Structure 1
C-alpha cells in the first residue's frame, strides 16, 4: 500500500512539473517524503529519517516548508493536516522559522532570479 501511495505522489509531482519548476521546491518536497505519514495523520510521531530531513531543509531551504502550509503540497496530491505540519518541528526538536515569516520568504523567492 505504501509503495502505491509513493508512486501516486511521484506521478502527481511529475504531472505538476511546470508548477514545481516555478517555485523550485519540488525536490525539497520530495525529500520530505519520510514525513508524509505524520503530516498526513497516519503516524502518531515522525520517524528519525523525517526529523533528520526536516533539520536539513530548515538549514538549506526553509521557504519550502512554507509551501507545505500554503496549499502547494495539495497541488501535488498530498493531503496535509496543517496542525500536524505545524507540530512537526516541535516533535523533531528542530528550530524552524516562525510561520509569520512564510509570506516574506515566499515573496522573496518569487522575485529572485
Structure 2
C-alpha cells in the first residue's frame, strides 16, 4: 500500500503552506468564512455524510462507531472520489478541512480513517 499523507484541520484555522492540498469535506460552506480566507483547493461536498446521517449522529460520541460504519456504507458507491483522494494523498500531503467544532469525532476524521484503511 502506498504511503498517503492525509491530515485533518478545522477550516477556521489559518491555512498553512504545510497543509498541502486543502479539500473541504463538508456538504455546506462554513458559516461566516470567505472563500479567500479559507484557501480551499477543492470542495468535495459529494463525499460528505448525508444530511440524515449527520442529523442522526449529532456529534454524540456514543454513536461514533456506528456513525463511522454508516458513513463507510454511504461511501461504498463513491469509490471514484475515494480513489481520487487516495491518489492525491500518495502524491503529496492532503489536508481534509471541516467546519465542526468537534475535532476528533467528525466526518473528516472518519473519512481519513477510511482512506487510510484504518476505519
TM range (shorter): 0.3 to 0.5
Under a length normalisation based on structure 1, what TM-score does the superposition of the two structures give? 0.37
Q: Normalized against structure 2, the TM-score is what?
A: 0.35
Name the structure, 1 or 2, with higher relative contact order (CA <8 Å, separation 6+).
Answer: 2
Q: Choose between structure 1 and 2: higher strand proportion.
A: 2
